[in-house]
A = this chain, B = another copy of it.
């Protein structure tokens, strides 16, 4: 093999895409993504067949990174509240330390250019979370509602919390508290 596809270059393209999509949404140009990644315009297309494929890959990449960020320190033995709080606070932490990533995800999610299949694939990264919450519902701790519904509530309240903290970093701790409080009460009865 002449020169193998470089994982670093692929990574650089995804990182660049994260920044540029965070800034310009789906109006981000492939040229600017390539440029920011430090590769030639054509190179982007040896890593991603076309812009659409790049967007799907970017979404999956970011969602996976988010899922990964929620694992360290997960209290497998703790009660449901602590476990869910861990997920909530990790989500906040990831969002705060990856503002572009979070923004890019939300731009893509609302762009109308994400394939349903991509959304479905992204879900897979949160399999374990879903199972835990199912058990929590069965045990009566969480309100009896579809998993997707409960998860969406946590996610959106976490998003609101992140956005609030980004506007008033000084009140980060307080927002994390009322954010989780709101989320927890919303999903319990």
Chain A residues proximal to chain B, CB less than 8 Å: 2, 23-27, 40, 42, 106-107, 109-113, 143, 145-146, 148-149, 152-153, 156-157, 159-160, 163-164, 175, 178, 181-183, 185-189
Question: A170 to chain B: closest CB distance in Å?
Answer: 13
Tell me if A25 and B111 are in contact (CB < 8 A): yes
Tell me if B2 and A182 are in contact (CB < 8 A): no
Enumerate the 4 nearest inter-chain pairs by beta-carbon distance, A residue then B residue, closest first: A110-B110, A186-B186, A156-B156, A182-B186
A186 to B183, CA, bound (A): 6
Copies of this subunit: 4
A15 to B188, CA, bound (A): 40
Question: A5 to chain B: closest CB distance in Å?
Answer: 15
- A and B contact pairs by CB, cutoff 8 A, 25 listed: A23-B112, A25-B110, A25-B112, A27-B27, A27-B113, A106-B110, A110-B110, A110-B111, A143-B178, A143-B182, A148-B164, A149-B160, A149-B164, A149-B175, A153-B156, A153-B182, A153-B186, A156-B156, A156-B157, A156-B159, A181-B189, A185-B185, A185-B188, A185-B189, A186-B186
The residues of B that contact A188 with a CB separation of less than 8 Å are: 185
